[in-house]
Amino acid sequence: MEERACMIAEAGYEVISRYGIRRATMNDIAQAAGVSRQTVYNIFPNREELLHGVIRYHFWHKWNEIEEAIDQIEDREKRIAILLDHLVVRSWESMQAMPHADELEIEIDTTMRERMSDIHQEAVRKLCEFFNAYEEQLNSRGMTAQGIGEMLHLAFVGMKLSSTSQAQLETVVGTMKACLLSVTE
């Protein structure tokens, strides 16, 4: 994404997080980004394009945070803990803090499902890259980095959307961490 698109997408995420998807307007987003409403429409011609841009920007931002956090870390347990914290725990907390998060989930599920396939494919690719370092250990257990990446992506999406409490999420994340440590040992 170009710089202005990123700036608008970041502002879009902040506005949607504050007001909810149905109450956030293009004017609100333009004002938060410090650009005109027409500039927002020039880059994102409609609400669906804007939402796709916001989600894509958020995805890349999240992965950049993970890559920076694990860059110098060799310890497998710490790397997996960072991955789970950023992709599951922080994402879930962010969704819980949003007013009307259920509206965002419905919007994404009903109008954005097909548009999001590129983001889902990229998420699986990034997860596979993460677990490529453990390919030998995975293969010895009849698994692949690709299989782990696909399974984790589906699990992460489900966990973020269906976990009902922080305690439940932490229990599941702890179990997932133990499983990942076991299969990558």
Stretch 85-95: mean pLDDT, rounded?
89
User: Could you read off the pLDDT of 94-151 as tens digits, one per residue?
Assistant: 888 887 777 777 676 666 667 778 888 999 999 999 999 999 999 999 999 999 999 9
User: Could you read off the pLDDT of 15-54 as tens digits, one per residue?
Assistant: 998 888 888 899 999 999 999 999 999 999 998 899 889 9
Q: How many CA atoms lie within 13 A of 32 on its CB side?
A: 20
Tokens (6 digits) for 50: 């804007």
d(Cα 44, Cα 102) in Å, to the nearest integer? 23
Amino acid at 44: F
